[in-house]
């Protein structure tokens, strides 16, 4: 987590990121890693920030660990980005340039240094998106790109502090004694993105030439609502899976939503809950109306399905194609604490044909396809399941 140590000298460098002090330079080519006497620390307080270098380096490291540990994703591949602080003179912005991260100091009047946890995770996650779906930075795909980085900021806050504030850059703004009316809670808001007077939270208000930061409110609203239903980490996992596996450069609000449903399915979460959050913002899911078609994993006969994670929220779902002439099935799992549901529909709302803990048998002669779902009261890992027909 910390800096590298070479005797008495410490360096802002670890296996994930490298820290550079721009010293107000706006050069994009500086690569000299900042160092300091370990016993004295790094003194770079400015504009109300006690040490932007420490903050940005620490939060970039934590963001990397979040992706690895929570979402089983190596976010930058083998690339080790530079985290460059003190960019420009009182520069009121931060950005990802396609290779590295840059953070300004703020102006000291309205803004602190832009090195808060969610701001660092936001810029870092533009690099994640670039290496995953490479979402274009315009139109609907650009709005999704910005929203994903906003989401990552909240997930990183939760991972780092155990809670998040549902504000984008909430730590950035200064209480100005002379102009108290200028104080903002945040740059953007998740609970109601329209609170900033510029962002939208419904597709009906989207315009083709809209600033991508304001268009991000549509997916930010989805993320907020989904997090209320299944939690921030689970919601983020759906979007990380979508970004890695299903989104493309020109992904739209509609097919991005379908990709997120697929991402939820990959993780074992309820696609119906995700779908409802997208419908709330006017996304109709016309490209994936039949959610049963998204159930792509089959449970084959007499082949053990392994390495499942099962929990109250994480319910792996499988399609079972019933052979002609078969009347019954039985499914056995490796843990007696896992409940198995067999039913005619993928929907959790549908009545099951049978349910049982540890094993289940069901009469299926009248169906060509049935579905099996696995649930548990606590998270259980490395669950295996075996299907037999008779």
Q: Is 123 a catalytic residue?
A: yes
DSSP 313-378: S---EEEEEPPTT--EEEEEES-TTEEEEEESSS-TTSPPSEEEESEEEEE-TT-SEEEEEEEESS
Active site annotation includes 181: no
Question: What is each CA distance from 325 to 106, 330, 331, in whole angstroms?
Answer: 72, 15, 18
Contact 85, 24 (CB under 8 A): no
CB 204 within 8 A of CB 217: no
Give the pair of three-digit tokens for residue 155: 């997930």
CB atoms closer than 10 angstroms to residue 14: 17
Element (H, E) at 233: helix 232-245
**Of 13, 213, 266, 346, which is the active-site residue?**
213
Q: Which residues contact 300 (CB under 8 A, 6 or more apart)?
A: 387
Q: Are 336 and 358 in contact (CB under 8 A)?
A: yes
Paired tokens of 81: 């980005």
SS3 per residue for 81-138 = CEEEECCCCCCCCEEECCCCEEECCCCCCCECCCCCHHHHHHHHHHHHHHHCCCCCCC
Contact in structure between 200 and 217 (CB atoms under 8 Å): yes
Asked whether the beta carbons of 216 and 199 are under 8 A apart, the reply is yes
**Catalytic pick among 13, 86, 112, 123:** 123
**Across-strand partners of 333?**
385
Phi first, then psi: give them for residue 351, nearest 5 degrees: -65, 130
Q: What are the tokens at 196?
A: 């900033």
Active site members? 123, 213
């Amino acid at each position: 987590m910390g800096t590298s140590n070479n005797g008495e000298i410490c360096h802002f460098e670890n296996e994930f990121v490298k820290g550079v002090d721009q010293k107000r330079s706006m050069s994009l080519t500086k690569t000299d890693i900042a160092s300091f006497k370990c016993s004295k620390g790094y003194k770079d307080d400015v504009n109300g920030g006690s040490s932007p270098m420490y903050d940005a380096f620490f939060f970039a490291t934590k963001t990397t660990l979040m992706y690895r540990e929570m979402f089983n994703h190596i976010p930058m591949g083998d690339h080790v980005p530079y985290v460059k602080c003190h960019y420009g003179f009182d520069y009121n912005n931060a950005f990802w340039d396609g290779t590295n991260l840059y953070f300004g100091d703020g102006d000291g009047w309205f803004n602190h240094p832009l090195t808060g946890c969610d701001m660092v995770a936001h810029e870092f996650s533009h690099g994640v998106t670039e290496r995953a779906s490479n979402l274009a930075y315009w139109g609907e795909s650009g709005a999704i790109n910005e929203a994903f980085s906003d989401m990552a900021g909240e997930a990183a806050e939760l991972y780092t502090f155990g809670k998040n504030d549902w504000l984008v850059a909430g730590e950035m703004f200064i209480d100005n004694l002379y102009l108290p009316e200028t104080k903002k809670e945040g740059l953007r808001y998740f609970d109601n993105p329209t609170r900033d007077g510029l962002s939208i939270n419904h597709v009906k208000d989207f315009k083709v030439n809209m600033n991508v930061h304001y268009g991000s409110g549509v997916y930010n609203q989805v993320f907020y609502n989904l997090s209320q239903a299944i939690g921030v980490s689970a919601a983020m996992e759906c979007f990380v899976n979508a970004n890695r596996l299903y989104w493309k450069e020109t992904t739209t609000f509609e097919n991005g939503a379908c990709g997120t449903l697929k991402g939820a399915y990959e993780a074992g979460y309820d696609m119906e809950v995700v779908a409802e959050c997208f419908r709330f913002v006017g996304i109709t899911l016309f490209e994936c109306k039949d959610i049963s078609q998204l159930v792509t994993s089959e449970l084959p006969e007499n082949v053990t399905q392994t390495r499942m994670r099962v929990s109250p929220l994480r319910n792996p779902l499988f399609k079972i194609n019933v052979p002609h002439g078969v009347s019954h099935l039985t499914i056995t799992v490796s843990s007696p604490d896992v409940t198995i549901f067999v039913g005619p529909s993928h929907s959790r709302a549908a009545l099951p044909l049978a349910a049982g803990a540890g094993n289940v048998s069901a009469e299926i002669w009248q169906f060509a396809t049935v579905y099996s779902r696995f649930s548990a009261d606590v998270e259980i890992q490395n669950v295996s399941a075996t299907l037999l027909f008779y």
